[in-house]
Amino acid sequence: MRVSMEDHVGKSESDAILGLMELKRDPLFRRIPEERRGYYVERSLAFGREAAAERAGRPIGEWLEREGISVRIDDSSGSMFGTALRAQIDWTAAVPRITVYRESMRQLAEAASVFPEMFGTLTPERAADIHLAHEYYHWLEYRSGTFTKDRLDPVETRLGPLRRRSAVRQCGEVAAHAFARDLTGLPHLPNLLDYLYLMHAGELKKENFDEEMEKCRKALGVGGRHMV
Ligand SMILES: [Zn+2]
């Protein structure tokens, strides 16, 4: 089985598509008007890229050390209710701490090795760096007091006669992916790794993945209309 983003789009466009796939996971996604989806994806990607550009040239480990963030590698499976945990950050303690699940990193590396055209050789250590960078972005959001979702327009939701404006949380994930991608020099947004993992594990069919990618490509007007 061969998967290539180039089957679908050029590399520069893969970010927008994978960004939209992440945005789709937001519970409010259906509340976002179609023509506004590109705005949330592109702005979130830009926030992540900007933050990475400010920190280019140093490995993630150095940034964590500078900020006094501790790292713990957890040897438990990290699976909870059938969902594998990859990494998480706890900033409530005196010393903020990122936990990375070793088995999960091994699985991602294994899945990536089945699709070498996507990420090349990806060691578990590199998978861990990607996740450390992702969590570090959330730390930067937390420390600055402004989360990505709050830097973007809220969407209007209605419950009967009640109207409220809610932030689109998943934007923080899109930005964190873009940050991790740029800081660690990946060819694609790292959420693609999760899809490779699911395909390798037989939990996602390649046809369905391709279909979803194609839907996102069309929705964004990649290759046709201008994106935002
Ligand atoms: Zn995250």
Residue 160 CA to ligand 1 center (angstroms) comes to: 32
pTM for this entry:
0.90
Q: What is the pLDDT of residues 161-206, one digit of tens each?
A: 899 999 999 999 999 999 999 999 999 999 999 999 999 999 999 9
Q: Which of 228, 214, 227 is nearest to 9 (CA)?
A: 214
Number of alpha carbons in the 13 Å side-chain half-sphere of residue 73: 11
Work out whether the CA dihedral 174, 171, 124, 70 comes out positive or negative: positive
Distance 173 CA to ligand 1 centre (A): 5
Q: Which candidate, 175, 212, 224, places its Cα nearest to that of 5? A: 212
Whether 225 maps to a domain, the answer reads: no
Looking at the domain assignment, is residue 65 inside a domain? yes
> Distance, CA 2 to ligand 1 centroid (Å)?
28
Q: How far is the CA of 87 from the centre of ligand 1 (A)?
A: 9
Q: How far apart are CA 226 and CA 141, in angstroms?
A: 30
Sequence-distant (6+) residues with CB within 8 A of 202 are none
Compute the distance from residue 137 Cα to the ligand 1 centre, in Å. Answer: 8
In a domain, 17, yes or no: yes
CA of 162 to the centre of ligand 1 (A): 30
pLDDT in tens, the chain (228 residues): 555 555 445 556 899 999 999 999 999 999 999 999 999 999 999 999 999 999 999 999 999 999 999 999 998 766 665 567 899 999 988 899 999 999 999 999 999 999 999 999 999 999 999 999 999 999 999 999 999 999 999 999 888 889 999 999 999 999 999 999 999 999 999 999 999 999 999 999 999 999 999 999 999 886 544 333
52, 183 Cβ separation under 8 angstroms: yes
Ligand 1: centre distance to CA 133 (Å): 10
Q: Tell me if 226 is assigned to some domain.
A: no
Q: Which structural domain range is residue 166 located in?
A: 5-220
Rounded to the nearest whole angstrom, what is the distance from the C-alpha of residue 88 to the centroid of ligand 1?
8
Cα dihedral 63, 66, 69, 75 sign: positive
How many Å is the Cα radius of gyration of the chain?
18
- Looking at the DSSP assignment, which residues form a beta bridge with residue 74? 101
Tell me the CA–centroid distance for residue 149 and ligand 1, in Å. 12
Q: Which residues contact 132 (CB under 8 A, 6 or more apart)?
A: 60, 61, 64, 71, 87, 98, 100
Query: In this structure, is residue 164 part of a structural domain?
Result: yes
**Number of folded domains that form the chain:** 1
Q: For residues 197 and 107, is the Cβ–Cβ distance under 8 A?
A: yes
d(CA 107, CA 201): 9
Q: What distance in angstroms lies between residue 172's CA and the mean position of ligand 1's atoms?
A: 7
Residue 227 falls within a domain, yes or no? no
Q: Answer yes or no: is 228 within a domain.
A: no
Residue 112 belongs to a domain: yes
| DSSP state at residue 164 | E
In contact, 180 and 130? CB cutoff 8 Å:
yes
Helix H segments across the chain? 11-23, 37-53, 60-66, 102-114, 116-119, 124-144, 171-184, 191-200, 206-220
